[in-house]
Structure 1
Amino acid sequence: MVSFAFDEEHEEFRATLADFARKELLPNYRERAASTEFPFEVFRKLGELGVLGIGLPEEYGGTGDEDPVLLGLATETLAYGDVNLASAPVQIGLIASQLVHGTKEVRERYLPAMIEGRETVAIALTEPGSGSDASALATVARPIDDGWLLSGEKTAITWACNASAALVYAREPGSSRSKGVSCFLVSLDAPGVTVSPMPGMGCLPLGWGSIHMDEVHVPTEHLIGELGRGFHTVMDHFDFSRAALGLMCLGAARASLDEAATYANQRETFGRPIGEYQGVSFPLAEHATYLEAARWLCYRALWLRAEGKPHTSLASMSKWWPPVVAKDAIEAAMKIHGNLGYSAEFPLQQRFRDVMAYLVADGTSEIQKRIISREILGRESVAF
């Protein structure tokens, strides 16, 4: 019999995070989201709650074995209070899953600091000329006697402006596509590194920026994983993160629908609460349905990951559709609020701008559809 129930441990953790999201995150979300300062004080509280170590080695303060469903629950629940901070466990999980393949010195230096919420590390893959086509990156790692010299530019990098280091993906001179791409740990205060902010219309605290490297020396011990295998390693973990990001957007949208429902019960026109009119109640019903459907798509992808079963296609479905569903639900909530929904004094417009980023960030809907269609077209025909 199919079960859609979370286990007791997951439910207890979700309840703890829900209380934190409502009491600690939600009241000051709008103020934090309007600032380019990274909220390290709240970030450290997430570390104390154990949110930043999900699925990471226990010896460095993590929870141990990979737990995709728990990561999804954490991001969805936290996003109800602050969609920007809710991305932290996904970002750290993606980065730390690479760092565990580094030297003992690298692991001991960075993993505890990240899991405790004391420090951030960026993941630098996207380039000006290679967005969705990540394997077309042009940053070069030229080998020298004691390591490599890296030259190139990375753009739209999350945490670039608040991180102490970055995982930089660069290729061997003369290589092409995914072959010859390696992962290197680069200190962002190293000679030859220039970090420039590039704030967008939302997600300001995430510190988006560009990282320019001019003959930056990377020592041999800062190679992460196998030489020439960096691209394949990170792509595997994007399957993990995409569904969690979908849930994150849905968590933010659920907060907006709840606010719209409260407002619809309180606001009156012609002597009746506006929630009694189908023009208000039906959109709420429709978007609640879409949120629920998109939510279980994401958890299905994460469950398949936990079971060790193929999930690339569902992960891509979870990345392109749920952010669209979330964006549309927040827009509907803004309309129900009328002019107040557009006001900068309310969180609705801020969530709309923050969630909009995930229609593009970490893989556009078009690249996700390409992945899905490739699997569909590659199936053998089945006779019925």
Structure 2
Amino acid sequence: MLSFAFSAEQEDFRRQLRKFAETELAPRYRERAARAEFSFEAHRQLADLGVLGIGLPEEYGGSGEPDPITLGLATEALAYGDVNVAAAPVQVGLVAGQLAWGGRQAVVQAWLPRLIAGEVVAAIAVTEPAGGSDVAALRTEAKKVAGGWVLNGEKIAITHATSAAVGLVYAREPGSRGHDGISCFAMDLGSPGVGRTPTPGMGALPLCWGGLSFEDVFVPDDGLVGAAGRGFAGAMRHFDFSRPALGLLCLGAAQASIDEAAAWAVEREAFGRPLAAFQGVSFPLAEHATYLEAARWLCYRSLWTRESGAQHTQYAAMSKWWPPIVAKDAIEAALVTFGNLGYSIELPLQQRYRDVASYLIADGTAGIQKRIIATAMMGRTAAR
């Protein structure tokens, strides 16, 4: 029989993180969100809770084998208190996972324990000015030289661009085209020739978005992650993990907003009755609660499919385009429920709205995700 139950250990972990989110993260959410600075204080707290090592090798401080469902649970629970801090396990899982299973020993030993301990953060540098979501069109070049590679190029819209110590940089061999010839390199972002440019947005400021430039940056042989010229496939496989995790991140923030709006509707009175007594108030909240629940299980379906080893690219894409929209709409409904107070900076609703809106774009827009889904659908149809 199909079961929607998490293990007892997972439930205990989720409750622990939810309590941490409510008591430790939520009270300072708006304060952190107002600064374009990465919060290492909160990040190290996550490390102490074991969040940053989920599914990573034990010898480096992790929990062991890949565990996408537990990581999704952690992300959702933490986002209830601070959607920006909650991005940490996704980013660490995305970068450290590639290092752990594809990196050379010297680089793994240099960076993985520090990432899991929360001492440093990492960036993944794919997007470029001329390519956007078209990874096959990237232009950053990696020329083979004695002892390593020399990289030249530019990346934009990079999470942790101004705060990361290490980055996974995707670059192609000179003269290569399309997906062929793209490799992944673990680069010390303090290396000579690396430039950083902040690009503050209307939200998600603590994620330190910005651009990276590379001018004759040398990366030693040990910096190659995976096989040379095969980086595209490796990147896509890991994005299939991050997309449902980001969906859950948005939904965690939206659930906090709906819960706050429901409590307010019971407490606040109008025309001698609680707001909750008016269907014009209670029914929209009921509708959004339904959408949140449906979107939540879509994300866990994707993570469960990944854990079982089955193909799940289309589920990951579904989990990225729809849940952020569901979450954004739910936060907007909660904001309206509070009236003018909801729009004010006294409440976290307006901040969550702006922070969650970033995920309408990050990691691929809805249009890109629908293209992935449609391609999978047409491929199955053609194979019949």
Q: Structure 1, residues 155-186: CA drift from partner, whole Å, max 9, x if none?
A: 01001111112111000000011100011122
Q: Which amino acid in structure 1 is aligned with residue 130 of structure 2?
A: G
Q: Which residue of 2 aligns with 1:99?
A: 99
Counterpart amino acid of 1:21? A
Map 1:48-87 to 2 at 5 A: 48-87=48-87
Offset, 1:103: 2.0
Provide Cα deviations, 1:108-155, integer angstroms capped at 9, x if missing partner.
Answer: 111111111111111111111111111210000111112111110000
- Name structure 1 gaps, 5 residues minimum: none
Partner residue, 1:43: 43
Letter in 1 for 2:144: P
Q: Which residue of 1 aligns with 2:219?
A: 218
In the TM superposition, 1:125-140 aligns within 5 A as 125-140=126-141
Aligned equivalents of 1:239 and 1:221: distance in 2? 26
Whole-Å Cα distance in 2 between the matches of residues 276 and 64 of structure 1?
50
Please show how residues 1-384 of structure 1 align to structure 2 within 5 Å.
1-100=1-100, 101-380=102-381
In the TM superposition, what is the alpha-carbon distance from 1:98 to its structure 2 partner?
1.5
Q: Any gaps of 5 or more consecutive residues in structure 2?
A: none
How far off is 1:342 after superposition?
A: 1.0
Structure 1 vs Structure 2 CA RMSD: 1.2
| SS of structure 2 residue aligned to 1:84 | coil
Q: TM-score, normalised by structure 2?
A: 0.98
Please give the alpha-carbon distance, in whole angstroms, between the structure 2 residues aligned to 1:239 and 1:273. Answer: 44
Secondary structure, counterpart of 1:117 in structure 2: coil
Q: In structure 2, what is the Cα distance between the partners aligned to 1:69 and 1:28?
A: 27
CA distance in 2, matches of 1:164, 1:382: 45
Cα separation, 1, equivalents of 2:166 and 2:380: 42
Closer, same or farther: CA 261–109 of 1 in aligned 2, 3 Å:
same
CA distance in 1, matches of 2:141, 2:313: 29
Shift of 1:68: 1.1
Alpha-carbon shift at residue 382 of structure 1 (Å): 10
Q: Residue type of the partner of 2:30?
A: R
Q: Secondary structure at the match of 2:93?
A: helix
Q: Secondary structure at the match of 2:85?
A: helix
Equivalent position SS for 1:195: strand
Q: CA deviation at 1:35?
A: 0.8
Q: Deviations over 1:259-298 (max 9, x none)?
A: 1111111211111111111110001000000000001111
Q: Runs of 4+ in structure 1 displaced over 4 angstroms?
A: none
C-alpha distance in 2, partners of 1:165/1:67? 23
Aligned partner of residue 259 in structure 2, secondary structure = helix
SS of 2:238's equivalent?
helix
* Distance in 1, Cα, partners of 2:104 & 2:282: 57
Q: For 1:149 and 1:381, how far apart are their aligned partners in 2?
A: 43
Matched residue SS, 1:131: coil
How far apart, in 2, do the equivalents of 1:349 and 1:27 lie? 15
* Letter of the structure 2 residue corresponding to residue 313 of structure 1: Q
Query: What CA distance in whole angstroms lies between the structure 2 residues aligned with 1:368 and 1:87?
Result: 20
What SS does structure 2 have at the residue aligned with 1:160?
A: coil
The alignment's TM-score, normalised by the length of structure 1, stands at 0.98
Letter matched to residue 16 of structure 1? Q
Distance, in Å, in 1 between the alignment partners of 2:144 and 2:362 is: 31
Provide the secondary structure at the position in 2 that maps to 1:83. coil
Q: C-alpha separation between the residues in 2 aligned to 1:343 and 1:331?
A: 13
The one-letter code of the counterpart of 1:144 is V
Structure 1 residues 116 and 382: CA distance shift in structure 2, 3 A = closer
Alpha-carbon distance in structure 1 between the residues aligned to 2:282 and 2:358: 28
Query: Residue 341 of structure 1: CA displacement?
Result: 1.1
Cα distance in structure 1, aligned partners of 2:44 and 2:179: 36
Q: Secondary structure at the match of 1:324?
A: helix
Q: What amino acid sits opposite 1:78 in the alignment?
A: L
